Structures are given as structure tokens and as C-alpha cells.
Chains A and B, each alone.
Chain A
């Protein structure tokens, strides 16, 4: 365990509040007290990287590694700084390899390693790295996106498209979108015990959505069936049932449930979503999926995900410029939408614009790193004395 000085604790606290300048000053203060404090160097590097000052970040992180060779957070900072500085792929590759040795079961290290290898034009080695990341964590969406992009470069869209769909399914944002359409915040839906669920349909529906959001699909199905026994025309229940079937790869059943919901009410966004997602699983029905997702963009204004889904269906129809426009719409609503950025890279590749594709991928990686908060996890682990 690394002893945290008072100044480092202060810097951490300021950094977590987003008060960068005083946090940096506190780090300098900590280093005046003890220049050999790896946490202070590491934190300073993280702060500099957050502000986009990559050279300063790299210097601090390198010093932190010098002082503590098992400081995973410092490797993160150093690797990300080298990646952003560009042209330093040899150093970047080395850093990600070292991180993979320090924390062998960290899928992200292999994802990053793959990105550095790809940027250095080592395509085969990059694919190996991403496949290794998926072996460690089969639910790693960024590795899947990269494999899809590689397939696109090598064999074209037909081969790549299932990869993009699979990556999209792994990306948690699509499930969050379904629950948002249903009127729930997925993160604020804790699954309750069956015995605690109230008798009313409203509380039962909420509980069913909560089970679904927490991957307790059988409990959710059970509850939905009991709702449908009494209220066979409940469109919310039918839509959730369709969603649950989709999660279990039962596409025909999902279609049946969502169609049933839409015959009762055509204005049910969750049913439109479920039917579109079901159609999207059948390549021959891509045109239908495209129409449904297009409709969903007007039913859920201000949401990026319908535009992304629409764009992906357009990719399936080989309407690349239209897909590009849909991705742009998604990014206008959510500039940090990782899935849209990877999609934009795919569209750029179909137009032969490799620079735009590389830039979109770099931005996607940046936003993915940011949304997952990669720095604080390993930093806290280092501060607590354990590995991540």
C-alpha cells in the first residue's frame, strides 16, 4: 500500500470535484514535500492528461512508473498521452504491453495495445490484441468495434456488419435507451425481491423493467407473463416481452410481441424499437428496420440512439452517405456517442477516407475511456495497495 500524503489527499479531493488548477497546485505541493511520491506524480499526470497537456502528462506518468512499476494508473496515463501525441506508437505499444503484464486480466490494456499496433500499421498484431481482449472480457464492446472495422477494411461491409451489430449489443447504451423510452432510468432501477412487489400493474411493470435492467431476464419474463394473463392488451408489457425475447435471441417471438403491441397502439416507442431491433437481426428485413428507426427518431427527439440505429440499418442497405448523415445527426445530439463515432469511421472507410476514419476512431476511444472513467479505478486500487 502506498502511503498517501495529506497534500495528495487534498489534490485527489480537488480533482474529483473537477477543480483542476488547484488540484495541480496541490500535486506540486505534495512533490515539494516528497518528490518520490508515485501517487502525486500519477495524479498530476492524470490531471494534465484530462486537460489535454500530453507532454506534461507523459513526463509525470513516466516518473510515477519509475518510482512504482506496478502503478497501473500511471501506465494508463502514459499510454493515453503517447497515443494522443501521435507518432510515438513504439513507446505507446511498449506501455500497453507493460500494463498487460502488470494487470494480466485487464481487457482494456489489450484494446489499447491493439489501437496502438493498428496506428503503427501492424494490422494482424492488432487483431490478435483485440481478440485477446475479448477472451478476457467477452463483453468488451470496443474490441468488437475494432474487429468490425478491421473486417470492413479487409473484406467489406457485408462481413463487417454483424460485427458492428454485435458490438452495438454489447454497448450498454442501447439497453439504457430502451429503458429510457419506457420511462425508466436503467441505473435507478434496482431489482426488488418478488415478495416486495406491489399488487398494482404499475408497480409490477416497474419491477419487471427493473429485473430486465439487472439482467434477471427469467424473473422479468415471469412477471410480464402474469401481467399479460390479466391484461393481454398492455402495450408496455408486450414491448418489454419483445425486448426480453430479443435478449434471448428469439427474434420471431420478439417480432410477434412487438407487432401485437403496435396493432393496439402505433404510438408505442418501445414497441417500435423492439420491432426495429428484431428486423435489424434479419438482413433481409433491413429496409423495414430502417423505416422503423427513422420513425423512432421523431418519436424520441433529442436522443442520439435512434439515429445510430437508423444509420446502422442504412449501412445494411449499403446506403452509406445516408448512414453518414444519420451518424452526424446522432453526434450533433451526443458528440461523445462512441457507437456513432465507430459508425462514422465505417462510413469514412467506405468512401476511402482513411484519415477521417482514423480520427473518428481516436475520438471514439477517447470518449469510451472518458465515459468508463479508466483513471480513477486503477488509481484507487494503487492507493489502496491492491491491483485493479
Chain B
């Protein structure tokens, strides 16, 4: 994904007040909402100082801006379009062009402040399903696209925001609407990307509607955690470790080969302090880049000036927290964005690239099974826990969906699964036989014959729930240096296994296998008898047992290691996320501290490092060895250019 924007001027040598060089290969920007105050009326659509704001975007190193069309303003009467609105949009597009910005134009956004969709003549008809309204929507889209199809400042057309998509009752309706509107765009503009700005995972969580098929036609997809999804998947402050990994988790979960734009990033509620907002934004931006995002959009430019609410009310899709306060003064988050733009300006993404991930956490298809199957609700939490633990082992990891081919991967982690779809066990067995390493944890249910054969175990029955998690190591070193533990934990299931042909690596307190390893064909099949990822994922307001976290981290790291896809860079701090962008002559190392405390991460390399240099410039520091310590602030980041000896 490239905005092909001018590259501005460089800051090497570092005068922080100068405009950072812009990276056209990683568009960075912000959602630019039409109203800045709750007291403003819908007719004041972008009535503020757009030119001035765009100048500030340019100065901050941004290249991308999302704007929102007001149907209510554009078409006050049926088939009668407002000249005033058309001219105002023209001014916005011209202002963007003048400042080297590219626009994502969102046509149908549900926004309770600006009433963008509330056409008075629409009465109570649903703009998502009513044939007449859809016809009018297509006409509006054709008109706007036609007006601006030759404008270089328009980067992409976006059909709707997630609040709008959530109103669909079924995937079929959603797909039909998207197809109609996309067709309307394509009639006039066959080239520019068309987007549907919903994250398939968060949309499904909110509405139980599977929108993935509609994304199939999109050139660019988006990913973002909504506030509700954040509370569901990673309960806690926005700067807690689960929460700071959530952006990259969802980014990976989108699972397409198309560019993914990380949008709506940053704190969503006013509960966080300015410092926490900045930390949340920093984690989202850097972890997005470190996990292959193609661009990023901050949630909002300026704080919404809200009225004193008694009691305070927050709409789940309301975006009221921005990069600057209501007076326009930049908040610490703005500095973070500027700094990130500065880093981007020195990272040539044509030269440096991330390695292909050969380890994946499998999202089972039971995620989309209907209630009362609780697996659909447990599954994302278990997958997130597994993902975070692999990250803590510093192994490059991605997410894969059960229905996707397994061939691209060498290690698959199937966390706390109750049931796999028909045929998946056969596919897994064939994949393991060919050399893959599978880590599976039992999540209840039956343990079929394919699973028993693959793991080389006998299934003696369901052992019931337990109040303690216990691990006694039987074969130390076989799957890493596992530590024994005995901690209180709500274990919902425990598979009573007979060793069979497998090697028992660890047992519970009674000697029943907890962890087994089976050589199957050319690969390995590892079975954990309890849903430990679910135990962690379900801890919520309780404290997750650190011993179980450490167990999984060690296990995943060891399996990846013996399969030949271990960490490229070793690091002694699990809280630090590591990414290595490989270049031709040198590499760029990203270190992101997800912890809320300062620490020094000792990183080690296979090849001795001669010097390290801050990517933004400065003098090289001589290392002359294969490891060095990197001091990191709470939620701090370090980006170093490495030259090898």
C-alpha cells in the first residue's frame, strides 16, 4: 500500500521541530471527523479550519486522512444535491492536495454527532436493506466519485464505517449492499481502491455477522479493536500487556494477502490519562509496523468538545479522544505520532522487510459456531493468549484460520480447542507427517481416533474440572527448560491420557500426562491435556498464573526452536516484542516494551554486531560482540540499525 506522497525533507541530524520525512510506503494519518463539538449542528460539516488542520497534519509527517461524507447534507431532498456541500468537499480535496495528503473518503458512516445518514426524506427505512434508499446511495456515490475521480488527492473510496456495518442482520445482506455500492464506484472509477472499513473479527463479535466474503473484493482491508472488543478480549487498562498486543493480534487475524490498514488506533475512552493515551498509541503504531501493517490511522484528530454529561455516557463507536485537546493543543500522543513518522522516514520499506512467519496460531472454525456453543466466545481469548505467549518467546508468529492451507507453516498452535471441523484432523495429520510441528491443547469434548493416532495417546476419558494447575516435569530439556508448578487455577477440563507411543514430558500431581510429545512421520505432535490458554484468557479480573504463562512461553519457544523457526534475535525480557527488518547490508531492529516498567533487554544475535545506530541518526555505538543491552522505558521503543562484523 503506497500513497506515493512526496517525501518531504529529512530530519537526519534531528531538529525535532522540523517536518519528519514522510514514508509513502507506510501511509500514516488520522480520522478527520466533521464536527469538533457536541454543540455543533450537522450542517456545520467540516466548517472548521480544514486548511489549518491539514497544514498541521503535514507538519506532523502524516500522509493519509479519512473524511466522512454527510448524506444528509449532500442530498437534502431526493435527487437534489447541495451545491454548498459539493463545494465544501472540493475545498477539502484541494486542501489535501496542497499539503501532500491523500484522502480516504468514507461514504456512509454512522456517527451520532454529525447525523451523516439521517436524510429526512428517508423516513424510517433502513439504508442497509431498503431498495429505494440503496438506489439513492448508489446515485450519491456515483456523483461524488465522478466529481473527484481525477483528483490525485483521493486515495481510496470507503463504503462505510464499522458502526454502519454493524447494523446488518446477516452476512448476505451485508454482502449484497457492499456489492451494489462497490459496483456504483466501479462504474465511474475502475482503478482506485474500494474499502469496507470493518474488522471482520470485531464485526462478528458485535453483530454475529460474518462479513469476510464482502472483504474478498476489497483492495485494502482494515483492522482495529473496538472498545467493546478490547474489554471482551483483554480486560484491563489500555496499557496492560494483553491490550497492547491486541492491535497486532487483530491485524494478523484479518489473514489476507492484501494490505491491511491499522485504523482507529489509540485510546478510545476518556478514562485513560494523556500519558496512557500516548503509551497505547505508541504500542499500536510500532507493533502494527512490526507485524506487517501497511499503514495506520489514529482514531481522531482533536478531542470532541463534550458537554458535561450527567452521568457520563460513552457510545461504543463514539470517537471522542484525539491527538490534540479541544483547544487544539497537541497531547503527548501527538508527539508519539510525530516520532513514529520520524522513524518511518528513515526506514526504506523497499530495502528492509520482515521475515515470513512460519509459526501460526490457528483460529478454529468453532469461533463462528452459534450459541449456546461457548467455544465461539472462548476461542478468541485463547488464541490471543497463545499469540502473546509466542510473542513473549520472541518467535515470529502469525494467525491462520482453520480453513486455510497449512503448508506455509512449520509450526501450528491449536489452543484450547473443543472441536475441529470435519477433515481438519486428516489435514493436520498429513501436514505433521510431512514435517510440521503441532501443539494442541485439549479444550474439552471428544478425542477422536485421528487425534489419538496423531498424538500417540490413549484417551481414557474426561477428568473433569480442577481447582489447581500442576506440572511435574518428567523429561527435562525435551521441550525446553520447563519449570514445575502447582498453582490455584480454574481448569475446566483435563483429558485423562494414556502414554501410548508418545513420550510423557510432564504430568499432573497424580502422574497423569499433562504434556506429551509424539514423533509422527517427519514431524512432531505435542499434546497438552488441559486448556491452559483458556485458563489464562478467562482470568479477566483475576490475576493470571504467571507459572502457566511461563510454561506455555517455554513450550512454544522450544517447539519453534526444534523445528528451526525459533527467534531470529534472542532476548531475555519476555515483555519486549522484537522485530528484525532484514536488509541487504544491514538490518533494522525494533524493540517494543509492552510492560509498564523500565527494563533493560539483553538481545543476542547469531552473527557478531559491529555497531548499532539509532535509526533517526546519531553516532554509531560500537558493540563488537553478539549481544548488547537495550534500556527501555515503560512502553518505550528502540529502533536500531545494525551493522554486522
Interface set of A (CB-CB < 8 Å, partner B): 18-21, 24-25, 27-28, 51-56, 84-90, 93, 117, 120-122, 331, 335-336, 354-356, 358-359, 362-363, 366-367
Contact = CB atoms under 8 A, between A and B. Distances in A.
A-B interface, 6 closest residue pairs, ranked by CB to CB distance from nearest = A335-B543, A87-B314, A366-B541, A120-B311, A52-B540, A28-B372
19 contacts: A20-B374, A24-B372, A24-B374, A51-B377, A54-B231, A84-B231, A85-B228, A85-B231, A87-B314, A87-B316, A117-B311, A122-B311, A335-B542, A335-B543, A355-B272, A355-B276, A363-B541, A363-B542, A367-B541
A121 B308 CA distance: 11
Given A24-B374, A84-B540, 15 more contacts: A18-B465, A21-B374, A24-B371, A27-B372, A28-B371, A51-B377, A52-B232, A52-B235, A54-B232, A87-B269, A120-B312, A335-B543, A354-B273, A363-B541, A366-B541
A52 B227 contact: no
B381 to A, nearest CB: 8
B567 interface: no
A354 B274 CA distance: 12
B269 A86 contact: yes
Contact of A56 (B237, B371, B538, B542): B371
A370 to B, nearest CB: 9
A101 to B, nearest CB: 18
B382 to A, nearest CB: 13
A304 to B, nearest CB: 12
Contact of A55 (B228, B272, B309, B444): B228
B372 A90 contact: no
Contact of B377 (A56, A117, A122, A355): A56
A52 B242 CA distance: 15
B271 interface: yes
Contacts of B328: none
B99 to A, nearest CB: 35
Contacts of B237: 355-356, 359
Interface string B219-247: 00000000110011001110100000000
- Chain B's interface size range is 20 to 34
Nearest to A86: B231
Given A54-B231, A56-B377, A362 B541 contact: yes
Nearest to B318: A87
B444 A21 contact: yes
Contacts of B374: 20-21, 24, 51, 53
A89 B371 contact: no
B372 A88 contact: no
Contacts of B228: 55, 85
Given A28-B372, A359-B236, A90 B312 contact: yes
B492 interface: yes
Contact of B538 (A52, A356, A363): A52
Contacts, number: 86
Contacts of B316: 87
A84 to B, nearest CB: 7
B444 A88 contact: no
Contacts of B311: 89-90, 93, 117, 120, 122
B299 to A, nearest CB: 15
Nearest to A19: B465
Contacts of A121: 312
B138 to A, nearest CB: 34
Contacts of B309: 90
Interface in B528-547: 538, 540-543
Contacts of A88: 314
A28 B371 CA distance: 9
A53 B488 CA distance: 22
Contacts of B542: 335-336, 363, 366-367
B508 to A, nearest CB: 18
B568 to A, nearest CB: 34
B566 to A, nearest CB: 31
Contacts of A51: 374, 377-378, 538
Nearest to A125: B311
Contacts of A122: 310-311
Contacts of B543: 331, 335
A230 B313 CA distance: 68
Contacts of B232: 52-55
B227 A87 contact: yes
Nearest to A31: B372
A117 B488 CA distance: 34
Contacts of A19: 465
Contacts of B312: 89-90, 120-121
B484 to A, nearest CB: 17
A384 B400 CA distance: 49
Contacts of A87: 227, 269, 271, 314, 316
Contacts of A117: 311
A127 to B, nearest CB: 15
Nearest to B377: A53
A52 B235 CA distance: 9
A121 B310 CA distance: 10
Contacts of B313: 89-90
Interface centre among A54, A87, A336 (most CB of B within 10 A): A87
Nearest to B493: A21
Nearest to A85: B231
A19 B492 CA distance: 8
A335 B232 CA distance: 21
A86 B271 contact: yes
Contacts of A331: 543
Nearest to A91: B313
B488 to A, nearest CB: 8
Nearest to A364: B541
A25 B372 contact: yes
Nearest to B227: A87
A19 B374 CA distance: 12
A25 B273 CA distance: 42
A28 to B, nearest CB: 4
A84 B235 contact: yes
Nearest to B238: A355
A170 B276 CA distance: 35
B521 to A, nearest CB: 34
Interface centre among B272, B311, B444, B488 (most CB of A within 10 A): B311
A354 B231 CA distance: 19
A55 B543 CA distance: 22
Interface string B157-201: 000000000000000000000000000000000000000000000
B444 to A, nearest CB: 7
A358 to B, nearest CB: 8
Nearest to B268: A87
Contacts of B541: 52, 84, 362-363, 366-367
Interface string B279-310: 00000000000000000000000000000011
A302 to B, nearest CB: 12
Nearest to B542: A335
Interface in B421-463: 444
Nearest to B375: A21
Contacts of A336: 542
Contacts of A366: 540-542
Contacts of A355: 237, 239, 271-273, 276
Nearest to B230: A86
Contacts of A84: 231, 235, 540-541
Contacts of B372: 21, 24-25, 27-28
A322 B585 CA distance: 50
